[in-house]
Amino acid sequence: MAGPVYFISDAHLGSSADPATDAPRLERLIPFLHAVRDRRAEHLYIVGDLFDFWFEYTHVMPWRHARILGEIRAVVDAGVPVTFLGGNHDWWAGPVFEEFAGMTVHRDALTVEHQGRRVFLHHGDGLASQGDSGYMVLKAVLRNRVVIRLLRLVHPDLAYSLGHRLSRFSRQHLTGSAFRLAPAVAAYVDQRLAEGHDAVAMGHLHTRYAERRPDGRLFILGDWMTIFSALRLEGGEFTWEDWSSGAGVDVPEMAPPAYGGHGDEVKATDPGSV
């Protein structure tokens, strides 16, 4: 029998200038990675925003993230493939992820198949922000090839300072917004399911949420800032795991949604409607 397949998103490591703020996330994320390795998982998918900001240079990398990248490398070296899907905060991942950490990097949505299930993966940014013209313009600018080349000419300390300012703006912009499954997102999900996918899994919204749609299932993966959730596919069945205690606990399928947020900001007080 194949080992479990895991899906996680949105740890936003490095969201504060103080490295100590990463400790609560690492205290849960590292034991999770050890469990993925020890259970001989079939695959681990990190569906974006592992870091609050990541931009690659040829010869330098942020020292504070070496530990988690090393832990991921240990998972890969144990024989568990790890695939990273770029988020809006770390879309620029490249050789460090691939060569140092051993992950396979995708910058766009992808379809994966395991245990008889066909799953469509998308970080979720852009889908939930289609009505936000300012964000969509910023996204287009930051992913422009000319802008990327110019940023590589800037000293890394300055580039990361700018990146963290933009990331903080993005987090503050989203925090406090009530979660709702927007009609545009629902339509996009239904289209992917109608194309033959059994499930759509996405991050970005910092909410652990599952819904049965007419042609399949939608999973919004939560985060590793306030919810600490993982989605497990095992024996062809999907199950939530809650790692908030530092150990994985299965969540009943009918459990209510968990509303998270960016841990360095004020959390939403009104979960809103779904």
pLDDT per residue over 75-114, tens digit each?
999 999 999 998 877 767 778 888 889 999 998 899 999 9
Q: What is the pLDDT of residues 256-270, one digit of tens each?
A: 889 887 665 444 333
- Give the residue among 109, 256, 255, 130 at the shortest CA–CA distance from 195: 109
**Closest Cα partner for 246 from 16, 28, 19, 59?**
28
Residues 6+ apart with CB under 8 A from 44: 5, 6, 8, 33, 36, 75, 80, 81, 82, 83
Q: Where are the domains of the chain?
A: 5-259
CB 170 within 8 A of CB 164: no
5-259 CATH fold: Purple Acid Phosphatase; chain A, domain 2 (3.60.21)
Please give the pLDDT value at position 82: 98
DSSP state of 88: T
For residue range 230-241, list pLDDT tens digits in order: 999 999 999 999
Q: Contact, 102 vs 73, CB < 8 A? A: yes
User: Looking at residue 21, what is its pLDDT?
Assistant: 85
Higher pLDDT, 39 or 128: 39
Tell me the pTM.
0.84
Quick: pLDDT tens for 55-73: 776 666 777 888 999 999 9
Secondary structure, 3-state, 164-224: HHHHHHHHHHHCCCCCCCCHHHHHHHHHHHHCCCCEEEECCCCEEEEEEECCEEEEEECCC
Question: What letter would DSSP give residue 90?
Answer: T
